[in-house]
Amino acid sequence: MHRFTGKVAFITGAASGIGRAAALAFAREGAQVAITDRTEAALDQLRAEIEAASGEVLAIRCDVSVPEDVEAAVAKTTERFGRIDCAFNNAGVENKAAPVHEITLDEWDRILDINLRGTFVCMKHEIAQMLRQGGGVLVNTSSGAGIRGVAGGASYAASKHALIGLTKSAALDYAKANIRVNAVLPGNIETPMMDRFTGGDIQKAIDLEPVGRLGKPEEIAEAVLWMCSDLGAFVTGAAISVDGGWSL
């Protein structure tokens, strides 16, 4: 089955983890894929992997905290493929663990600039293109931290809570324009970010999961593809947890 033949997928934070899994899944399902990230070496490796499997791919270096990068990436994608049917706004970073009174303004701004402002800028340009072409689907990566508190993680949790509000509001703004907007809320997933967050002690993250294991990036990717597919056509404004019960 090739659910996305003839479709174009635009993915931020694509060089590793969930973004990488989503890029491979979209390509496997027949989509033309635009992959963006700040890390060029890993991006080039992913591009080569997709091309080796006969996929059509465009790799673009893009830092979502730089609005000019985002605007250029969306423009390059539409120049190459003509449209953007599915946008997966996945780029994000974790915070340095600290209680609120010890969070510096620079650290607060760093997290919000990438996780929230960066996603907002992506959405602005993606939605403008989708309005021109008559529709599309956006999925934003929030987190289980978007619906619960995290000790030592106020900046990250604030950014992910805000993403849900942004998602729901945009869903209402464009519901009659054939544009759907949803969010995926991953739990503790086997990614480089999780390695950094736990300092390499993955068992700490496993112990937080009711199901007794970490999630796989591919499991998040499958949820994203479902939301972007025709099977999810009646779903907009949803914040869907894929977290093994962590947020419970």
Task: Tell me how far apart the alpha carbons of residues 162 and 220 are, in angstroms, rounded to a whole number.
Answer: 20
Residue with tokens 């496993």: 206
- Is residue 103 within 8 Å of 155, Cβ to Cβ? yes
Edge-first strand order for the sheet with 86-89 is: 57-61, 32-37, 8-11, 86-89, 136-141, 179-186, 239-242
Task: State yes or no: is 174 an active-site residue.
Answer: no
Angle between helix 105-112 and 154-173 (nearest 10): 30
Q: Which amino acid makes up residue 179? A: I
Beta carbons within 10 angstroms of residue 110's beta carbon:
16
Of 148, 121, 138, 118, residue with least CA distance to 241: 148
Show the tokens assigned to 30: 């027949």
Q: Which amino acid makes up residue 58? A: L
Q: Which of 4, 10, 88, 156 is the catalytic position?
A: 156
CA 161 vs CA 72, 156, 183, 224, 239: distances in Å: 28, 9, 11, 19, 10
CA torsion, points 226, 189, 152, 115, in degrees to nearest 10? -40
Question: Which positions are catalytic?
Answer: 156
